[in-house]
Amino acid sequence: MTLTIKELFFIVFYIYRKTSRDTGMKPNNLTAEQYSIFKENGTEPPFNNAYWNNKEHGIYVDIVSGDVLFSSLDKFDSGTGWPSFTKPVNNNAIITCSDPSHGMIRTEVRSKSSDGHLGHVFADGPAPTGLRYCINSASLRFIPVKKIIEEGYSDYIYLFENTPIGFEQIIIGGGCFWGVEAYFKKVKGILDTTVGYSGGTIKNPDYTMVCTGTTGHAETVLITFNPDIVNLERILKHFFSIHNPGTLNRQGPDIGTQYRSALYYINDSQKITIDTIIQQITSRGAIVTTEVAKAIHFFKAEEYHQDYLDKNPGGYCHINLNKIYQF
């Protein structure tokens, strides 16, 4: 008996589906509900899911691949009990296909990279697209704006540049990140700090790799601040007061490119402020070797580095934490 290509395809597909179900395979540690919806085209209950009423700003990513799918800026209350969006962030991240299930013809929305079921799209949404992407929460992971850079999605922070979100962020490097973080935690108006690695070419480096000086990364601190309490100009004054921007690749006894002075800005407005402050410093004859560049990647450091001096009082610090400047 000779089988057609189509028949062979369905036999292979059947074996794959049966094997994956029989062996209980659940990619990326999906919960039973997530697996049922994402991999078996299920539907979660309306008004009883994670994101249907989520009003916080941020991005929604594929639960498996992590690809960015939707943004809070395009989310609206459709009254259906499921997260609804007028459009995806990136059309290339999704695919649509006809779904004849349940005795009706609908347009299914699937993740392109992981081929998972997301939901359906309907032509009854608001302007400007007139579309309603009705998506299952279980197929998504939400990343709030303040965690976008920390989670490695700095390419998407631009989406919220003109959105009032109550805070700003900047990445700074002024030597060992233990002391820099500890100092800024004492500054009024700082909402959050996270230490990590920035400015290099290696993805997801660890501390040992960065210490070799071959990754190009600097030890940095991602600072989240309330500009109504402490604006960027004042933060920069603190920054230039607690370290020596004139020493290249060195702060105190710490020597290496990972200890360089660096500022990684989020938007062009921040760069203008940085350039202005540096010009003021150099006009007085001071040397500034600080690297200034657009923030591209921030890789969160290992957990034991986070809040290190809180966990280890009296630990090494190249900054005088007993003196908090007033600006």
Q: Are residues 303 and 182 in the same domain?
A: yes
CATH number for position 121:
2.170.150.20
Q: What is the CATH number of the domain that holds 194?
A: 3.30.1060.10
- Is the domain of 206 the same as that of 295? yes
Beta-bridge partner residues of 280: none
Same domain, yes or no: 134 and 170: no
Domain that holds residue 33: 28-144
Judge whether residue 107 has pLDDT over 70: yes
Q: Is residue 249 part of a domain?
A: yes
Mark which of 110, 144, 178 sits at the end of a domain.
144
Are 91 and 131 members of one domain? yes
Two tokens, residue 31: 């919960």
SS3 (DSSP) at 166:
coil
Q: What proportion of the chain, given as a percentage, has pLDDT over 70?
A: 91
Determine if residue 216 is left, alpha or beta; phi over 0 gives left, psi from -120 to 50 gives alpha, anything else beta. Answer: left
Catalytic residue (choose from 97, 176, 211, 317): 176
Which whole-number Å values give the CA distances from 21 to 17, 99, 113, in the listed order?
6, 22, 21
Q: Which of 97, 134, 211, 317 is catalytic?
A: 134
For residue 124 the two structure tokens come to 């009854």
Number of domains in the chain: 2
- What are the Cα distances from residue 53, in Å, to 72, 82, 244? 11, 8, 48
Interval 151-207: pLDDT, tens: 999 889 989 988 888 899 999 999 999 999 999 999 999 999 999 999 999 999 999
As to burial, measured by CB atoms within 10 angstroms (0-12 exposed, 13-18 middle, 19+ buried), residue 247 is middle
Query: What's the pLDDT tens digit per position in 223-261?
Result: 999 999 999 999 999 999 999 999 999 999 999 999 999
The verdict on whether 176 is a catalytic residue reads yes
Angle 275-183-208 (CA atoms, 0-180°, nearest 5)? 90
Does 317 participate in catalysis according to the annotation?
no
Output the pTM of the full model. 0.79
What is the pLDDT, as a whole number, of residue 46? 97
Residues 103 and 184 in one domain: no
Question: What distances in angstroms separate CA 228 from CA 190, 225, 231, 233, one per listed residue?
Answer: 11, 9, 7, 12
> Lowest-confidence range among 36-45, 137-146, 158-167?
158-167
